Copies of this chain bind each other. A is one copy, B any other.
Amino acid sequence: MTFKTDERSIRLYNLYNHLAFKLALYVAVWSFLFLAVFEKPAVPGAALPYWATMIIEACILIFFLSRFIHNVLFSEPASFWKDPKNIVVIVTIILVAIDMVGYIIWVNVTSPAVAAKAVRWSRPLRPLFLINFPEGRQLRKAFRNILRTLPDVVHILALFLASIAIFALLALKLMQNRSLVYPDGRPYFNNYFECVWDLYVLVTTANSPDVMMPAYNKNNWFATFFFVYIVVNVYIFMNIVLASVYNNYRRHLKNEVIKTVYLKRRLLARVFDLLKVWQRDTYVVTRQTWHSLMEIAAPHWGPTRRDVLFYVLDDTADNAIRRKDFLKVADLLNVELAEEKEEPTALENWCPRCYLAPPSEVIKSIVRHRFFHYTFDFLILLNAFIVGFNLEEAEWGFLTAFTVEILLRVYTFGPKKYFTTFWDVFDFCVVMPAVIGTIIETSLGDDYGRVKLIDFLMVIRVLKLVRLIGSIKRFQIVLTTIVNIGPSIATYGAVIFVFFYIYAVIGMELFSGLINYYGYDTKNETEMFCGDQRLKGSEFLQKRYCGNNFNSIAHSFVILFELLVVNQWHVMSSGFVLVTNKAARLYFISFHMICVVILLNILTAFILEVFILEYSLSQTELESTIEARIKDMGLGLGQNPGENPKTVKQDKHVLVDNMEEVEMSGSSPTAATSGDSCDVTAGAVGKQQDQGLRFRLKRSSRKRVETLLEYMFEGEIGPAEEGQDEEVITAGPAARTNTSSEMAA
């Protein structure tokens, strides 16, 4: 246990985990990061004097400190002070405080010339708060795994760099005495370090084929050198770096996931030991105990739902849960079950006579017919052409048609169903703003405010095309998969954000104000060549890259994103080398190594793995069990038993082209293809159906990152293993799961 268990501590724990405090922490952390917008060099128009940002910063810092002290109060000191994340938080708080005091002294006490050089050196540390507060668990895990991966891939990277070094020596020996020059007159491969730089850039393919052309034009056989270089370093080595980075990262990730699973199981085993009773030659948890437990752990669930879970766990059907089944509780709580009553629509309740009248039924059957759907798909396509050819007049007609469609669909399916179906909601969110926007546009006339509104309406109009894609089933599966894996990928997005922030802040300290964008037609002498004579005639200026600078956090993020895309990164770095010196290349190379070679490769490989996983498998083992149980109990939700027996897919090795067969049952084509839920066709209608309650498995449950990760390694974790006990200590408080909070409760 990492927390004290006396009553005061539990009260403090609950207070600490109060939603308001958690929200406040998020706001504080993001505001802390957001301060860079207002600090020097600020985003144009947002500059604040340094004391203003410092006051905000001090307030946030005090909040962090109070939060930290609050945490100290209810934690076991021994494990608390052994946890690296707590150490990092308190050290960072102290460092930031020292930096703030130092900066104030620097600015106010020293001479103006010295004061102008004042540096807020603690700013790159800010993202540490994002990582190290307990709430950033996934992010912290990702960072920990990346750090652990590095030593394993260092020798591959070293080999890769050695290969570049050898090729650079070869290039130098082959080219240096041929007096070749680049088109802009720079000497060609006549200095070892320039060779290394040019060949490093070539590995990123950014200067291909320019770097080859002078030699190739001299003698065609030189193409062989570059061919061998590219095959060896780009196609073989870069792929091996990718393989190695990913293979090692995956291994550490697996260890981490397994550790978490084992810890969870051991904690549950302890709960089981507290609750168990002796019954028929084994220890079990009885039904009654289960209900009392659930009343504390999940008070918002009804008794039927608790029963469903109980039946799922009660493998032997003797009204008791055994130890090995009890260990599944945490996973079970993660599976989201939707409780649904088959209710009449709101309109049916309000006026059943008119809603069920024959004309109304005709309307409903028209709306439900697939040609209704096709007609509107065609209208959307037609609308796209209208938009493309600027025929604004026709827009009103389309908007009316789409509005009518929405009303008809709401009428037919009822507002509740309509507003819980993804593509219907999407449709609503696109058409309604378009209607409102067009009304405002028309009423405003040819005013100034229209310009931005028109942009907005353009985007909205084009977005309607996305709905067309959403109505083609093969596309939909892909889109649903993308939506499902989104959150898992977002973790890596956050990791990249952290590095972006650090590099942006360092970049601003190093390069801000050196290159400025004044337009390219200026005749003002100080403003020519983007404010620096040394850029005259450079490719940087020729390409008009002066807007790519580090003059504010927003500009920095844009240029860093461009560097992440890699193309032309050497031209951008050449600009900053010209206005400083060649050491600036270290900044750009290190960014490339960390963000592109390591992080982007992990991201790529992770997307590959997760996409293949999501796209080719349908359900986890647990989900299949639950579904089968729900079906057994006759609590499944299904309109037409026997109509579509393919719905329940338990074959875990369904290949991609079988995916097409996973059709959702349901009468509305849009609802049927929402892909967000997996209805269970109830084969036999059982005893409890009279309660009018139905359950279905929400597919969204897999969207949680932890669940997906466990699912990824499902085959490699034994079903009842609990691991060695000493692992509890090494796993420590970092691997805490939501079960620990249940226990403290």
Instruction: Please state if A478 and B159 are interface contacts (CB–CB under 8 Å).
Output: yes
Instruction: Please state if B656 and A251 are interface contacts (CB–CB under 8 Å).
Output: yes
> What are the residues of chain B within 8 A of A548 when measuring CB–CB?
209, 213
Residue interface bits A246-257, CB-to-B below 8 A is 1, else 0: 111001000000
Instruction: Please state if B567 and A206 are interface contacts (CB–CB under 8 Å).
Output: yes
> What are the residues of chain B within 8 A of A239 when measuring CB–CB?
604, 607-608, 611
In order of increasing CB-CB distance, the 6 nearest A-B pairs are A173-B458, A243-B611, A155-B474, A209-B562, A239-B607, A208-B567
Point out the residue from B183, B543, B616 that lies within 8 Å of A544, measured CB to CB.
Answer: B183
Q: Cβ of A738 < 8 Å from any Cβ of B?
A: no
> What are the residues of chain B within 8 A of A360 when measuring CB–CB?
none
Q: Cβ of A162 < 8 Å from any Cβ of B?
A: yes
Instruction: Please state if A152 and B657 are interface contacts (CB–CB under 8 Å).
Output: yes
How distant is the Cα of A214 from the Cα of B462 in the complex, in angstroms? 23
Instruction: Please state if A159 and B567 are interface contacts (CB–CB under 8 Å).
Output: no
Residue interface bits A530-571, CB-to-B below 8 A is 1, else 0: 000000000000111101100000110010011001111000
Q: Cβ of A242 < 8 Å from any Cβ of B?
A: yes
How distant is the Cα of A239 from the Cα of B520 in the complex, in angstroms? 38
Q: Cβ of A220 < 8 Å from any Cβ of B?
A: yes
A382 to chain B, nearest CB (A): 14
A427 to chain B, nearest CB (A): 16
Closest to A236 in B: B482
Interface centre among A234, A465, A554, by most B CB within 10 Å?
Answer: A465
Closest to A604 in B: B239
Q: Given A183-B544, A545-B213, A656-B251 in contact, is the A565-B170 Cβ separation under 8 Å?
A: no
A575 to chain B, nearest CB (A): 12
How distant is the Cα of A612 from the Cα of B212 in the complex, in angstroms? 33
How distant is the Cα of A474 from the Cα of B462 in the complex, in angstroms? 54
Instruction: Please state if A565 and B205 are interface contacts (CB–CB under 8 Å).
Output: yes
A55 to chain B, nearest CB (A): 28
Interface centre among A213, A214, A520, by most B CB within 10 Å?
Answer: A213
How distant is the Cα of A605 from the Cα of B236 in the complex, in angstroms? 12
Instruction: Please state if B170 and A543 are interface contacts (CB–CB under 8 Å).
Output: no
Q: Cβ of A655 < 8 Å from any Cβ of B?
A: yes
Query: Interface majority SS on A: helix, strand, loop or mixed?
Result: helix
Instruction: Please state if A465 and B166 are interface contacts (CB–CB under 8 Å).
Output: yes
Q: Cβ of A603 < 8 Å from any Cβ of B?
A: yes
A592 to chain B, nearest CB (A): 14
A211 to chain B, nearest CB (A): 10
Residue interface bits A487-500, CB-to-B below 8 A is 1, else 0: 00100000000000
Q: Cβ of A1 < 8 Å from any Cβ of B?
A: no
Point out the residue from B519, B545, B554, B607 that lies within 8 Å of A240, measured CB to CB.
Answer: B607
Instruction: Please state if A217 and B567 are interface contacts (CB–CB under 8 Å).
Output: no
Number of copies: 2
Instruction: Please state if A217 and B656 are interface contacts (CB–CB under 8 Å).
Output: no
A242 to chain B, nearest CB (A): 6
How distant is the Cα of A735 from the Cα of B534 in the complex, in angstroms? 66
Instruction: Please state if A462 and B169 are interface contacts (CB–CB under 8 Å).
Output: yes
Q: Cβ of A388 < 8 Å from any Cβ of B?
A: yes
Q: Cβ of A230 < 8 Å from any Cβ of B?
A: yes
Point out the residue from B210, B475, B562 that lies within 8 Å of A155, measured CB to CB.
Answer: B475
A521 to chain B, nearest CB (A): 11
Residue interface bits A281-310, CB-to-B below 8 A is 1, else 0: 000000000000000000000000000000
Instruction: Please state if B544 and A217 are interface contacts (CB–CB under 8 Å).
Output: yes
Closest to A475 in B: B159
Point out the residue from B561, B607, B612, B655 that lies within 8 Å of A236, measured CB to CB.
Answer: B607
Q: Cβ of A235 < 8 Å from any Cβ of B?
A: yes
Point out the residue from B172, B247, B455, B520 that lies within 8 Å of A388, measured CB to CB.
Answer: B172
Point out the residue from B155, B387, B608, B612 that lies within 8 Å of A169, measured CB to CB.
Answer: B387
Q: Given A239-B611, A547-B216 in contact, is the A478-B156 Cβ separation under 8 Å?
A: yes
> What are the residues of chain B within 8 A of A212 when measuring CB–CB?
562
How distant is the Cα of A542 from the Cα of B174 in the complex, in angstroms? 26
Q: Cβ of A207 < 8 Å from any Cβ of B?
A: yes
Q: Cβ of A615 < 8 Å from any Cβ of B?
A: yes
> What are the residues of chain B within 8 A of A542 when measuring CB–CB?
183
> What are the residues of chain B within 8 A of A461 when measuring CB–CB?
173
Q: Cβ of A355 < 8 Å from any Cβ of B?
A: no
A654 to chain B, nearest CB (A): 12
> What are the residues of chain B within 8 A of A329 when measuring CB–CB?
none
Q: Cβ of A384 < 8 Å from any Cβ of B?
A: yes
Instruction: Please state if B234 and A565 are interface contacts (CB–CB under 8 Å).
Output: yes
A189 to chain B, nearest CB (A): 13
Closest to A216 in B: B547
How distant is the Cα of A333 from the Cα of B485 in the complex, in angstroms? 46
> What are the residues of chain B within 8 A of A489 when measuring CB–CB?
236
Instruction: Please state if A247 and B612 are interface contacts (CB–CB under 8 Å).
Output: yes
> What are the residues of chain B within 8 A of A482 when measuring CB–CB?
236, 240
Other A-B contacts than A158-B475, A247-B656, 7 sampled, CB-CB below 8 A, are A159-B478, A170-B462, A173-B387, A208-B565, A209-B545, A217-B517, A236-B482
Residue interface bits A376-400, CB-to-B below 8 A is 1, else 0: 0000000010011000000000000
Residue interface bits A166-209, CB-to-B below 8 A is 1, else 0: 10011011100000000100000000100000000000011111
Q: Cβ of A469 < 8 Å from any Cβ of B?
A: yes
> What are the residues of chain B within 8 A of A544 when measuring CB–CB?
183, 213-214, 217
A376 to chain B, nearest CB (A): 18
Q: Cβ of A227 < 8 Å from any Cβ of B?
A: yes
Q: Cβ of A356 < 8 Å from any Cβ of B?
A: no
Q: Cβ of A459 < 8 Å from any Cβ of B?
A: yes
Instruction: Please state if B170 and A243 are interface contacts (CB–CB under 8 Å).
Output: no
Instruction: Please state if A562 and B240 are interface contacts (CB–CB under 8 Å).
Output: no
Q: Given A206-B567, A240-B478 in contact, is the A227-B170 Cβ separation under 8 Å?
A: no
> What are the residues of chain B within 8 A of A242 when measuring CB–CB?
604, 608
Q: Cβ of A223 < 8 Å from any Cβ of B?
A: yes
Closest to A603 in B: B235
Instruction: Please state if A616 and B565 are interface contacts (CB–CB under 8 Å).
Output: no
Instruction: Please state if B210 and A568 are interface contacts (CB–CB under 8 Å).
Output: yes
Residue interface bits A597-636, CB-to-B below 8 A is 1, else 0: 0000001110110011001100000000000000000000
Closest to A385 in B: B169
Instruction: Please state if B612 and A243 are interface contacts (CB–CB under 8 Å).
Output: yes
Q: Cβ of A466 < 8 Å from any Cβ of B?
A: yes
A54 to chain B, nearest CB (A): 27
Point out the residue from B172, B213, B247, B555 that lies within 8 Å of A615, measured CB to CB.
Answer: B247
How distant is the Cα of A207 from the Cα of B571 in the complex, in angstroms? 13
> What are the residues of chain B within 8 A of A169 when measuring CB–CB?
384, 387-388, 462, 465
> What are the residues of chain B within 8 A of A616 when measuring CB–CB?
247
Instruction: Please state if A656 and B248 are interface contacts (CB–CB under 8 Å).
Output: yes
Point out the residue from B217, B248, B562, B611 that lies within 8 Å of A208, measured CB to CB.
Answer: B562
